Structure 1
């Protein structure tokens, strides 16, 4: 029907150029609004009179709440109409940006008629200048109008690949629902305790009974606001989930601007009417970044082509950064300054004229092109997966900022137990840092004492070991244990988590670990060559082995490369064998599983072309011994490659990451695997692992060449996501 009406398009990122129905966002918007209209009687059912002849109990009926609901639906209807007009007439960006302001007029008028509050509580750091509360007056209405404009257009700007628009809307809607659940009431028969381990405290909040949700603290008004938000978000999740099935790669339908308009307006509605617009903006971190990055092109400083979507290469089936060219007219001084600044921080890729350095080409300023500049060309499906992973990670960080950074959180009076626990969690992280520093200082002193004795070997602080006159010790997380006991303790940890290992990795990293592993294997690609013999150490579940074999088969039709998976834990190997039974490599010589100790390999020397270890080397009793064994079993020219958690280089990210690691990960282990202690160890073991520079030195000490002066810049190691994880490489000469 849409194709017959001329609402069709072609997928620029596909080899085939079939007509694909466009503007299917109209179907989503119509279904969504119909559900909201059908739902109108239910929130107000308790106000219906007992006698059908009496109609509504007019004296008690909350006309204000009904007017808010109806004005919200009216704004969504207007957004749908304006979005569809944009699809049909292809309105230019300069006229498109203010359109959502028109759709927000019903919201703003009802807000004004009901004497909506325009006071804003000032964040703590600025109270010395602005006081505790400031009345913005008309400026607040301007802010709400701008919020609707931003929420609508920010999703529309970050588009152009299959599944991009609807996946953003779906993740943001789920985040809003998760936020609402913290405030909602529960029936008196449904009670549980909300653990604040997530925030680092020991206290718990009882949740259960009407108006008793933990974060609402007995406020009926707060509960009603978030119930209103849920009324609008739940059907939006349902509609987006259904549409995502059809819009996912390879897309069979396109959403058009209509979907962007209606989803953006839905977020503006709940942010304004439920009074959590600042929290809502935290869920738009990728969109805010993309908008700020796009401003030079949106406002004419840098030329803006009609389409800024990534460029498709039909021969390789990969997406590359799309570009804007300056061959006919050189960029202005301001444009040159902006582009060179963005290039310096890695947000755009420049091509310059060799003779005078003039910019002749630059990648377009969008977050999708940034992904391609920073991570390299990739298939369209991988690009949208990267976008989804970024959106999920940013929304997790949004919760950490909103509820975990007490020093920036707006204070309420009286202070709640939750705020007290938030501050306690920050103090707890600082205590961990002090404890770590004191332990390191203590071990340095033991090492220096040991080296003075004639009959005692020197300890190695880099591997987390120290020596005494009687026994050698090492670290098991933050605990100091005899070295000969650590192997059994580590075995116990991974025996406990083996059955839920992949589930917990997904929960802890929101699936990002899969992207890291994909990138790890891709970076090791030696190009077309003969079959390789690979050893994957601490690889019990077979994640890396499977990726190596798939990469060799998919890129080079290689069916001769073999991978031997070695792990000290039989339970992890059991999980790996179970996984490979479902693959084409089962019962083939391409993969085998070996139980063994990485520090005492019972394998011949000079045998393997590639030695990999992913998220495992930090659990070695002696990292130095493990590296020496890796060097021994590799052939000359063989490559050692390690993917491991590392030291976060950005101070703000480090603070948020530490808070998440020590609070959320053990809690997730407790909930999903019923094993808090094992996941507490996993977090602590990450903190005990040497930083990038020190680990690179240890690799060189084992006999590998690591790239020398190029460390941190593609030589010895490559940081992932600000140093949360790093890829280390070394070559046996």
Structure 2
């Protein structure tokens, strides 16, 4: 989380750009190197089970394996490009005075450092390039999935644009809440999948049917899911690495869930839907890992609303087109709890400050929870004061446990619930 300083220019007169302005200021410290050791450990933890399931555990068609392998190779290329592009982009945003100060380090030397803001724009652009180029290797011009694939990319691209606009213009909260509904329009208009839901077996006797067609209500639900996923990532924030970290954990869970569904199913269309989800979520995971290498504590860059909006929309899209929105909401359990806990402040029932962050003690380096309705503050009140890094790790462990709970529920309720 950061306080932002805008460019200073005379009202009504565009700022004059001189050659000297285009050079990085000598007062700006160089960007810290990426924490690649941390990323290597995290990547092994996430990708080892995925590739084990893909190549050894399940008997998956060679053609599908080939497509997933190509997507994985391109996604790794995206990771490398993003790691190299972030320092370059950081210099450009600093030249335009798009930077912030780390509020959770106020009163320390680190709290006085200008931190480049809105570096999520780099991740969004690299992601889109990978996703667009991948079409050449996987889809034909008459593919049934091509329209929805491009509609998904259009929604994600729209959300990146709106997120960057928010970073630059500092859009009010009431407008932030509705921005994702506009970005979701390309996907909703192009969606040609089913609009039915399977009624849980214990409720069939009360509803009267096992499969219920919701029609336009289903599309309304899809739009609301996109709004929730996008904003929930944005409000569960405020610590170095938390926004990107939760995206990485959820993306890894989505990746493993998809390969498990492909391996356990014999329905070609069902398999293709989950493969479609893999094609979109794998580059999100790898490019997010690149951003995490710079955003992990102590952050040398801030991700901005550009990234949180982009990541939320990308995960909503894969959940919608992969037809596992219920599972996606279980992966988002911490975000659901944080949203419900935040509702009194978000809807102005009780006062809501601009930044709902913990209190930082520069003498001890510890954070203390406030009465603001966020999971960040709740964890501090429940488990006591701790450092920013320790708090972020605790929250990410909670995120991972929520994903494991989802896998457990699906295993134990299989055959009884649906």
Q: TM-score range by the shorter chain?
A: 0.7 to 0.9
Structure 2 residue corresponding to 1:374, chosen from 369, 382, 397: 382
1:274 Cα deviation (Å)?
A: 1.4
CA deviation map 1:421-480 (0-9, x unaligned): xxxxxxxxxxxxxxxxxxxxxxxxxxxxxxxxxxxxxxxxxxxxxxxxxxxxxxxxxxxx
Structure 2 residue corresponding to 1:313, chosen from 361, 367, 380: 361
Alignment of 1:59-138 (within 5 A): 61-62=142-143, 64-111=144-191, 114=192, 116-131=193-208, 132-138=210-216
1:313 Cα deviation (Å)?
A: 0.9
Report the equivalent of 2:312: 264
Structure 2 residue corresponding to 1:395, chosen from 373, 393, 403: 403
Do the aligned residues in 1 keep the contact of 2:159 with 2:183 (CA within 8 Å)? yes
Distance in 2 (CA, whole Å) between partners of 1:409 and 1:152 is 28
CA deviation map 1:148-183 (0-9, x unaligned): 001101010000110000001000000000001113
1:403 Cα deviation (Å)?
A: 2.3
Q: Does 1:285 align with 2:365?
A: no
Report the equivalent of 2:3: none
3-state DSSP of counterpart to 1:319:
strand
3-state DSSP of counterpart to 2:194:
coil
Do the aligned residues in 1 keep the contact of 2:119 with 2:303 (CA within 8 Å)? yes
Distance in 2 (CA, whole Å) between partners of 1:90 and 1:403 is 44
Alignment of 1:180-191 (within 5 A): 180-184=258-262
Distance in 1 (CA, whole Å) between partners of 2:285 and 2:196 is 32
Report the equivalent of 1:21: 116
3-state DSSP of counterpart to 2:145:
helix
Count of aligned positions: 322
408 and 318 in structure 1: CA distance in 2 versus 1, 3 angstrom threshold: farther
Q: Does 1:8 align with 2:99?
A: yes
1:146 Cα deviation (Å)?
A: 0.4
Q: Does 1:229 align with 2:277?
A: yes
Do the aligned residues in 1 keep the contact of 2:121 with 2:306 (CA within 8 Å)? yes
Do the aligned residues in 1 keep the contact of 2:369 with 2:381 (CA within 8 Å)? yes
Distance in 2 (CA, whole Å) between partners of 1:395 and 1:278 is 12
1:407 Cα deviation (Å)?
A: 7.0
| Unaligned segments of structure 1, at least 5 residues | 48-55, 185-212, 323-362, 411-733
3-state DSSP of counterpart to 2:131:
helix
Of Structure 1 and Structure 2, the greater helix share is in: 2
Alignment of 1:131-146 (within 5 A): 131=208, 132-146=210-224
Of Structure 1 and Structure 2, the greater strand share is in: 1
Distance in 2 (CA, whole Å) between partners of 1:157 and 1:129 is 38
Do the aligned residues in 2 keep the contact of 1:319 with 1:379 (CA within 8 Å)? yes
4+ runs deviating over 3 angstroms: none
1:128 Cα deviation (Å)?
A: 2.3
CA deviation map 1:485-543 (0-9, x unaligned): xxxxxxxxxxxxxxxxxxxxxxxxxxxxxxxxxxxxxxxxxxxxxxxxxxxxxxxxxxx
Distance in 2 (CA, whole Å) between partners of 1:408 and 1:293 is 31
293 and 43 in structure 1: CA distance in 2 versus 1, 3 angstrom threshold: same
Distance in 2 (CA, whole Å) between partners of 1:312 and 1:263 is 28
1:276 Cα deviation (Å)?
A: 1.0
Distance in 2 (CA, whole Å) between partners of 1:241 and 1:406 is 33
Distance in 2 (CA, whole Å) between partners of 1:254 and 1:139 is 38
3-state DSSP of counterpart to 2:186:
helix
Distance in 2 (CA, whole Å) between partners of 1:301 and 1:402 is 37
| Unaligned segments of structure 2, at least 5 residues | 1-91
Structure 2 residue corresponding to 1:169, chosen from 247, 272, 280: 247
Q: Does 1:301 align with 2:392?
A: no
Larger Rg computed on CA atoms: 1
Distance in 1 (CA, whole Å) between partners of 2:372 and 2:161 is 30
Distance in 2 (CA, whole Å) between partners of 1:260 and 1:280 is 17
1:408 Cα deviation (Å)?
A: 5.6
- Bigger RCO of structures 1 and 2 (CA < 8 A, at least 6 apart): 2
Do the aligned residues in 1 keep the contact of 2:253 with 2:403 (CA within 8 Å)? yes
3-state DSSP of counterpart to 2:136:
coil
CA deviation map 1:204-260 (0-9, x unaligned): xxxxxxxxx2x21x1101110111011011111110111101000000000000111
Report the equivalent of 1:404: 412
Distance in 2 (CA, whole Å) between partners of 1:69 and 1:409 is 31
Distance in 1 (CA, whole Å) between partners of 2:340 and 2:130 is 35
**RMSD over aligned Cα atoms:** 1.2
3-state DSSP of counterpart to 2:197:
strand
Do the aligned residues in 2 keep the contact of 1:403 with 1:409 (CA within 8 Å)? no
3-state DSSP of counterpart to 1:309:
coil
Do the aligned residues in 2 keep the contact of 1:320 with 1:372 (CA within 8 Å)? yes
* TM-score (normalizing by structure 2): 0.75
Do the aligned residues in 1 keep the contact of 2:229 with 2:313 (CA within 8 Å)? yes
3-state DSSP of counterpart to 1:2:
helix
1:312 Cα deviation (Å)?
A: 0.8
